Amino acid sequence: MQMNKAIENLQALREYAVKQGVKATLTLHQEDSHLVRLANSGVSLNTSEALSRISVTTYGENKTATAQVMCDLDDTDSLFETVDKAKGMLAFASPLSYQPTFPEIEKSSQQQAGYDEKLAHISNEDILAYINQATQGLESEDVQLSGNFSVGATLVVQMSTATPHHVAWQASDAQITLVLASLQDKWEINAEQSATRLNDLDAPAMRARLAFLKDKYQNCPAVQLPLGPCRVVFGAAATAEYLNFLSFLGGDGGMMKRDSSINSMDDIGKQKLSPQVTLIEDPACLDTFAMPVDGYGRAREARAIYDQGVFTGFIWSQSAADEYGEQATGHDVMHRSFRLAPGKTPVNGLEELSRMPRDCDILYVPYLHYTGLVNASEGLITGTSRFGALLFKQDGSVVVPYNVRFTEKLGDLFGDKLQWLSTETCAYNVSSTYDARDPEALVVPQLMCCDNVKVEISNQSY
Partner 1 sequence: MAHTWKEQLDRLMKQGAAYADVRYYPREDSLSMVMLNGNMRSFDKQRESGFGVRVLADGAWGFAASSNLADITGTFDKALSNARAAAGRMTRPIRLADKEVLSGRFISPCEEDTLLVPLDEQAAFLRKMDEAMNKPGVTQRVAYIMALSRQVEYYDTEGAEIYKETRELFPSIFVKGRDVGGETQGRSYSPPRMGNTRGWEIMQEAHWLGEAERIVRELNETLVAPKCPHDVRSVILMPDQMFLQVHETIGHPLELDRILGYELSYAGGSFVRLEDFGRLQYGTKKLNVRADALLPNSPGSFGYDDDGVAAQNYMLIKEGVLVGAITSRQMVTEANERAGREIFGSSGGTARATSFYRTPLERMTNISVDPGQDGSLRDIIASTEKGIVLSGDKSWSIGSNREQFHFANDYAYLVEDGQVKEVVRSAAYKGDTLPFYNSLSAVGDRSTWEVQYVPNCGKGMPSQVMQLGHGVPVCRFDHVKVGE
Residues 69-128 that bind partner 1 (CB under 8 A): 69-75, 78, 82, 85-86, 89, 92-98, 124-125, 128
User: If binding is defined by CB under 8 A, does position 374 make contact with partner 1?
Assistant: yes
Residue 388 contacts residue 367 (beta carbons within 8 Å): yes
User: If binding is defined by CB under 8 A, does position 35 make contact with partner 1?
Assistant: yes
Touching partner 1, residues 4-33 (CB under 8 A): 33
Dihedral sign for Cα 373, 379, 384, 389, please.
Answer: positive
- Between 180 and 449, name the residue whose CB sits nearer to partner 1: 180
The single-letter DSSP state of residue 61 is: T
- Between 354 and 382, name the residue whose CB sits nearer to partner 1: 382
| Among 322, 289, 314, 281, residue whose Cα is nearest residue 428 | 289
Residues in the chain: 462
Touching partner 1, residues 181-240 (CB under 8 A): 181, 183, 186, 188, 190
Among 20, 110, 144, 419, binds partner 1 (CB under 8 A): 144
Shortest Å distance, C-beta 90 to partner 1: 9
User: If binding is defined by CB under 8 A, does position 433 make contact with partner 1?
Assistant: yes
Compute CA 224 distance to the chain's CA centroid, rounded to the nearest angstrom.
Answer: 32
- 74, 80, 83, 89: CA torsion to nearest 10: -120
Centre a 10 Å sphere on the Cβ of residue 237 and count the other Cβ atoms it contains. 23
Residue 63 contacts residue 96 (beta carbons within 8 Å): yes
Touching partner 1, residues 343-362 (CB under 8 A): none
Shortest Å distance, C-beta 372 to partner 1: 3
User: If binding is defined by CB under 8 A, does position 382 make contact with partner 1?
Assistant: yes
The single-letter DSSP state of residue 385 is: E
Helix H or strand E encompassing 242: helix 236-251
Strands (E), 40-108: 42-60, 63-70
Stretch 256-295: interaction string toward partner 1, x if CB under 8 A: --xxx-----------------------------------
Shortest Å distance, C-beta 134 to partner 1: 12
Among 50, 284, 299, 360, binds partner 1 (CB under 8 A): 50
What are the angstrom distances between the C-alpha of 414 and each of 243, 256, 333, 411, 428?
Answer: 9, 19, 26, 6, 18
Strand partners, 43: 38
User: If binding is defined by CB under 8 A, does position 51 make contact with partner 1?
Assistant: yes
User: If binding is defined by CB under 8 A, does position 133 make contact with partner 1?
Assistant: no
Residue 170 contacts residue 438 (beta carbons within 8 Å): no
Shortest Å distance, C-beta 388 to partner 1: 12
Kindly determine how many residues on this chain lie close enough to bind partner 1 according to the rule CB under 8 A: 94
